[in-house]
Each structure stands twice: as structure tokens, then as C-alpha cells.
A and B are shown apart, each in its own frame.
Chain A
Amino acid sequence: MILRELSDAFGVSGNEDDVRAIVLNAVRAHVDEIKIDAMGNVLAVKHGTGQDPLRVMLAAHMDEIGLMVVGHDDNGFLKVRSVGGIDPRLLPGTLFSVGPERLPGVIGVKPVHLLQSGEAKKVSKIEDLAVDIGAQNKDEAEKLAPLGTYATFATRFRELESTVSGKAFDDRAGCAVLVELLRGEPFTFDLHAAFTVQEEVGLRGARVAAFAIDPDCAFALEGTIADEIPKEKDASPTTRLGKGPAITVMDRSFIADRRLVRLLIDTAEDQDIPYQIKQPGLGGTDAGAIHLAREGVPSATVAVPSRYIHSPVALLSMDDFDNTVRLMRESLSRLTCDTLE
């Protein structure tokens, strides 16, 4: 399963090599052109059957959140800072893979026996935590994990009942959807796929990818927040697991093009594909950068709902995943120049 391979790969923002290698291997045989751009994005073109001159961009980001080593102390502990949005509540007691050799590391916690009263109620700041790779002293720590070394959650992909669990579903789920689309039949137009870098630190790869591709319209493919934990008041879930692909109308990074949203909804309804509208106003995706490229690009975002994203134990429904692929494939089959008239 391509999602398993992608989820397990090491690819914190700025260090996407392993994911890139998997992507190249997975899509090379199914596209007509492929290259790596100056920022490290994988840009691939799957030629269409030629009836429509549209240039359609599909983007999914390869990078994931993680940690970077920023210091070493005398006892051999690694001081770290977050790369992208890490929730400090998740760090203590978590296993990490450190550096290209994937050294096992842990962020330790003070044993419960030693806690002062009230200490357990506080969240430790990342500045007060350290990754322990078992180094004996500063020299050894520096040798094993020099400054700038990346670390990622060490969780492995697991299949549960109809769901799967793993790290980095944001956005390896989107990458996997994009791989599936490239592996399928061509569309009437040329499909420009961008597997982007550095989304988690500011939509950086997508910005240059969109400039280079200069598309007529674009779709960002994502893994997004599913959030059904019981709440005090009846006021939200962002999306729900098992209810189908999530279509964004507006988030912090962009307002989706209404013609593309209409295309997605009409397609879902005609084809009986479940879908949901993601709660507006939250999060941001590569579409935020893409839609502002050059003279502007009508854009939309479609996402696989995932519980516990930005944590080591994300969880998604394979039905949602399959329906996201289906919704995109069916919608792209209907997309023509007239859609944007």
C-alpha cells in the first residue's frame, strides 16, 4: 500500500529526500515528464487525451512536521525545536527517529514518583525537554546528531479494522491520493502534479511550483482535521471520520473558487460519493500559495479527514481515502474549460 510506504518515510520540512524517492519510484512509469525543481518539489506531467487545453495542477505536500536538533548538553541530551506546528503536550514520552540513520530517541519524562505537587498539571515547553539518544556525553551526542539534524515521530503504519493509523497523514494521505490519480487513466487535459516541499513551514514549495506550472486551476490534496471528541457545547466538528472527503470553502489561507467547489459537490451528489464541507475558517493548505501565483489561479482543496493530525498516532478511514480518490477522478473527468467560464 502506497500510503503505508509514504507514512513510514522520513520527511520533515526541508529534508524530504526519502519521500521524494518513494514518489519518483511510484509515479515515474505513469507520467510523461518528471523533474525535481530548485526547491525540491517533484513536478510531473501526465499528458491528457488532448481535447481540452486546460492546465490543471494537483498538489500534495511531501513534508511533515518534526524536530530539529539545536544544541547538546553535557550529559549528551539533544536540545530540539519544532519544525512546523508541534503540540508540546505530545512530546513527553514520545519515540523519535533521529537523523538519516534513524537513531532511536525518546523524549523522557520525570518519573511520577518524583513529581512535585501540581507539576503534573503543567505542559512542558519544548525548551525544557530533550531528546535522549543514549549518548554518554556532549561529544558523542554531537557526533551522532550534529546541529541541524532532523527527528520525526518513530511510529509505524498500522492497519486497524477499516481504519489505519500512522504518522504524517498530513499530507502523505494527499500524496497517496495523487499517486493513485496519476496511476489511473489520463484525463482530457494535461495533469500537472506537484509533490511539494516545506508546506508546514509556510506553503513554500507550492508557491514556486505554481509559478512554474502556471495552471488554469488547481486542487490541493490534503489530510485534514477530523475532530469528533465530545465537546462541551454543540458547536462543531471540523470534519468526521467515515463521512467522505472534506471540501474546503474557506480556511485561513484562501477562499476556494466557487465554480470548483460546485463541480466537486455536483459530482459527489451525481455519483453518490459521500462528502462533507470542512468547517470554514480553520487551517491552511498549499492552495493558499497556489491561488496567488502570477495572475491568480482558481483553486480548491479536497482532503481525507484524519483524526489526531500533527501527532504520532493519526488515524484515517480507508473508505474516506478511496472516496477521495474517486471524487477527484470523477470531478476531473467532468472538468473542462467551460467549468471556469
Chain B
Amino acid sequence: MRELIKKLVETYGPSGAEEQIRDTIRAEVEPFVDEVHVDAMGSLIAHKKGDGQRILLDAHMDEIGVMVTYVDEKGFARFTPIGGVSPLTCIGSRVTFEDGKVGVIGVEQKRDDADKIPKLEQLYIDVGATGRDDSPVQVGDPAVFIRPFAAQGTRLIAKAMDDRIGCAVLVEILRRLEETPHDLYVVFAVQEEVGLRGARTSAYGIEPDVGIAVDVTRTGDTPEAKPMAVKLGEGPAVKVQDSGMIAHPKVRRLLVERAEEAGIPYQLEVLERGTTDAAAVQLVRSGVPAGCLSIPCRYVHSPSEMVDESDVENGVRLLLEVLQNPL
């Protein structure tokens, strides 16, 4: 899977500009499903037809990024975040625009509170311009962080693991899944990072009987971390609740039971801040029993998000157990 993961994390796709990542994923899944289409909001929906219950699996294909808000007289670009971007991870980072143009994030030096973390408004992107007229970028252009994929032992490190690792899990499932008694819709959703927007509209269209999101979750296993009972390498995490949803108990039980039957390691997850597409899926139309399988991830929303390869593999195995058996 490493090659697939590398390809997905390194592809450009901030919220609202998912065309490139969508094309990449489309090429990966098309051979393994009956039908692929793009819905009104831009989410990619792969359908593997079956007679059983309608299952929606969701991973979001967008990533966090920045958008140019202003180009000053000297050609420096101010920006606004797309999704949750911390100034801490910005300084010294490089960003790339859709067509490959590169910029570096700098920080104003004259600050009253120079010993404090600067605000995003005090940062700018240097795109190598000397003035407004020769700036290669314009107001409204989106960009993403640049950071190549790396592997260190079983740890995989990249930008946009959130949630390309979920996308990779779902692509891998489609590759391996031969038979399923279910009617399976796999959604690669847009605009999760700006408010779970794509999942909501896709789920409305699909009207599933059950929804499961695959996304990253935080861990409590780093120095002086806030308490959280999720560790890297201890198995995929079955969501109990987060700040946006309480997982449907039957979906949670289903994931736990399948893991135990198959001897797949898993952890239970309670996330105090943050949520996933499952929260949006749960509330469409008359409501959908929904849950989430999380891949534990350190340094979420930094350009160096870290997951463990075994958690990814076990996540694939666990979801295959769910899909190959009756609910």
C-alpha cells in the first residue's frame, strides 16, 4: 500500500479544489467497481452493486491549505486558512499552488509581541515576485503545504494523511473485496475540512442504511500529550464519540465484534475535540446509523502527520470483515 499512500498524500487537493486528487482516486478505483460518478458538490462516488443493505463508506479527499487574500505592492501574498491551519506549522513551510508554483511562508519581523506565536495575519507567502504586477498568484488562489512522503520503520509520515490515509484504506478495500452481500457506496468526499460539507450532500443522495467514515484521530502517546487512550500501532480505533457525534451503538458493536472474531487489534476512541464526516452522514434525511473507524495519527494538521502502517493494514482487514459478512 505504500506506493498508493505516497501517491495520494502527495497529490494536490485543498477543500474546494479537489479536481486533481479526484482524478487520481478515480483512476485507482474505476477497475474495481460497477459505477463511478461525481456528484453536484464534486465528491467522487464509487458504487459496487449488491442486493443487500446500502452501506456508505466515506473518506474525505480534501486537505487543509491556504488561500491568497491580497497581494501587496511588493508582491508578497497575504492568506487565509482553508480548514484548521496553525501559524506554528506555517513558518518556514513551503506551499504549492495548483499549477505547481511554489511559495515560502514568512513572518513579519516587527511585532509588538515578538516572543508570542504570531497570528496568521502576521504571516505572508513569498512567491518570488518583486511587485504586484509580476506576482504569479492572484487573490483567491488556493495552495497546499509541500512535504514529501517518508517512511521510518513502520511509521509513515506525510502531509494530508488527514484524510488521504482514509482514502487509501478505501481504495485498498475495493482492490481486495471480491464478494459482498451489500450494496456498497464508497464516497471520497469534498470539503470536510471546512465543515463536513461534501459528506452531507453525498449521503443525502445515497440515502444509506448504514454509514461509516474512515478518518484519522489524535493520539495520547507523545511527550506531555493531553490524556487520550489511543496509541499509534495498537490497531485502528473504533469511534465511541467525538465533539460532533455519538457513534451509533450498533455500528460501534459491529466493528468491535468483527475485530474480535477475526483477531484484529483495535482500540476504542473518545475524541474530545474534532469530528468527522460521520457526524454529517448521521443527520441527513431521517437519520442514518453511523460510526467511524479511525486511523491513529500524530501531529494532525501539521505537514508531517504520522501514522503506523500496521494500523492502516488492520483497518483495511477490519472493514473487509464487515463488508464480506452480513451486518
- In the complex, are the beta carbons of A279 and B70 less than 8 A apart? yes
- In the complex, are the beta carbons of B139 and A298 less than 8 A apart? no
Write the B60-85 contact mask toward A (1 if CB under 8 angstroms, else 0).
Answer: 00000001111011000010111000
Query: What residues of B have a CB within 8 angstroms of the CB of A216 in the complex?
Result: 40
Write the B137-181 contact mask toward A (1 if CB under 8 angstroms, else 0).
Answer: 011101000000000000000000000000000000000000000
In the complex, A263→B121 CA distance in Å?
31
In the complex, A11→B19 CA distance in Å?
42
Q: Does chain A have a CB within 8 A of B294? A: no
- In the complex, are the beta carbons of A292 and B72 less than 8 A apart? no
The B-contacting residues of A in range 161-196, CB under 8 angstroms, are none
Query: What residues of B have a CB within 8 angstroms of the CB of A255 in the complex?
Result: 15-16, 82, 191, 194
Query: What residues of B have a CB within 8 angstroms of the CB of A295 in the complex?
Result: 39-41, 201-202, 204-205
| Nearest-neighbor residue (CB-CB) of A251 within chain B | B80
- In the complex, are the beta carbons of A292 and B200 less than 8 A apart? yes
- In the complex, are the beta carbons of B40 and A280 less than 8 A apart? no
Query: What residues of A have a CB within 8 angstroms of the CB of B78 in the complex?
Result: 235-236
Q: Does chain B have a CB within 8 A of A258? A: yes
Of the candidates A281, A292, A298, the one whose C-beta lies within 8 Å of that of B80 is A281
Query: What residues of A have a CB within 8 angstroms of the CB of B142 in the complex?
Result: 250
- In the complex, are the beta carbons of B121 and A296 less than 8 A apart? no
- In the complex, are the beta carbons of B70 and A235 less than 8 A apart? yes
In the complex, A14→B69 CA distance in Å?
34
- In the complex, are the beta carbons of B41 and A298 less than 8 A apart? yes
Interface size for chain B: under 10, 10 to 19, 20 to 34, or 35 or more residues?
Answer: 20 to 34
Q: Does chain A have a CB within 8 A of B33? A: no
Write the B194-213 contact mask toward A (1 if CB under 8 angstroms, else 0).
Answer: 10011011101100000000
- In the complex, are the beta carbons of A294 and B201 less than 8 A apart? yes
Query: What residues of B have a CB within 8 angstroms of the CB of A298 in the complex?
Result: 40-41
Of the candidates B39, B80, B194, the one whose C-beta lies within 8 Å of that of A296 is B39
- In the complex, are the beta carbons of A250 and B67 less than 8 A apart? yes
| Nearest-neighbor residue (CB-CB) of B198 within chain A | A296
Asked, given contacts A235-B78, A295-B201, whether A281 binds B73 with beta carbons under 8 Å apart, the answer is no
Query: What residues of B have a CB within 8 angstroms of the CB of A250 in the complex?
Result: 16, 67, 80, 82, 140, 142
Query: What residues of A have a CB within 8 angstroms of the CB of B198 in the complex?
Result: 296
In the complex, A254→B80 CA distance in Å?
14
- In the complex, are the beta carbons of A280 and B67 less than 8 A apart? yes
- In the complex, are the beta carbons of B140 and A277 less than 8 A apart? yes
Q: Number of A interface residues, CB 8 Å?
A: 23
Q: Does chain A have a CB within 8 A of B17? A: yes
Query: What residues of A have a CB within 8 angstroms of the CB of B19 in the complex?
Result: 258
In the complex, A167→B65 CA distance in Å?
37
Query: What residues of B have a CB within 8 angstroms of the CB of A249 in the complex?
Result: 67, 139-140
Residue from the set A236, A292, A298 with the largest chain B CB neighbour count within 10 Å? A292
- In the complex, are the beta carbons of A281 and B204 less than 8 A apart? no
In the complex, A256→B142 CA distance in Å?
12
- In the complex, are the beta carbons of B201 and A280 less than 8 A apart? no
Of the candidates A236, A256, A279, A292, the one whose C-beta lies within 8 Å of that of B201 is A292
Query: What residues of A have a CB within 8 angstroms of the CB of B197 in the complex?
Result: 254, 291-292
| Nearest-neighbor residue (CB-CB) of B82 within chain A | A250
- In the complex, are the beta carbons of B16 and A279 less than 8 A apart? no
Asked, given contacts A281-B80, A292-B200, whether A297 binds B40 with beta carbons under 8 Å apart, the answer is yes
Chain B nearest CB from A140 CB (Å) reads 48
Asked, given contacts A235-B121, A250-B16, A295-B39, whether A281 binds B201 with beta carbons under 8 Å apart, the answer is no
Chain A nearest CB from B201 CB (Å) reads 3
Query: What residues of A have a CB within 8 angstroms of the CB of B43 in the complex?
Result: 296
- In the complex, are the beta carbons of A280 and B139 less than 8 A apart? yes
Chain B nearest CB from A243 CB (Å) reads 12
Of the candidates A236, A258, A277, the one whose C-beta lies within 8 Å of that of B16 is A258
Chain B nearest CB from A129 CB (Å) reads 31
In the complex, A71→B202 CA distance in Å?
46
Chain B nearest CB from A267 CB (Å) reads 16
Chain B nearest CB from A182 CB (Å) reads 25
Q: Does chain B have a CB within 8 A of A234? A: yes
In the complex, A227→B2 CA distance in Å?
49
In the complex, A236→B202 CA distance in Å?
36
- In the complex, are the beta carbons of B72 and A235 less than 8 A apart? yes
- 24 A–B contacts, CB within 8 A, in A order: A216-B40, A235-B70, A235-B72, A236-B70, A236-B78, A249-B67, A249-B140, A250-B80, A255-B15, A261-B140, A277-B140, A279-B69, A279-B70, A279-B139, A280-B69, A280-B140, A281-B67, A281-B69, A282-B80, A295-B201, A295-B202, A296-B41, A296-B201, A297-B40
A residues adjacent to B (C-beta < 8 A):
216, 234-236, 249-250, 254-256, 258, 261, 277, 279-282, 291-292, 294-298
Q: Told that A280-B67, A298-B41 touch, could you supply 16 new A-B pairs with CB distance under 8 A?
A: A234-B73, A235-B70, A235-B78, A236-B69, A249-B140, A255-B15, A277-B139, A279-B69, A279-B139, A280-B139, A295-B202, A296-B41, A296-B43, A296-B200, A296-B201, A297-B40
Give the 4 A-B residue pairs with the shortest CB-CB distance, closest first: A281-B80, A296-B201, A255-B16, A296-B41
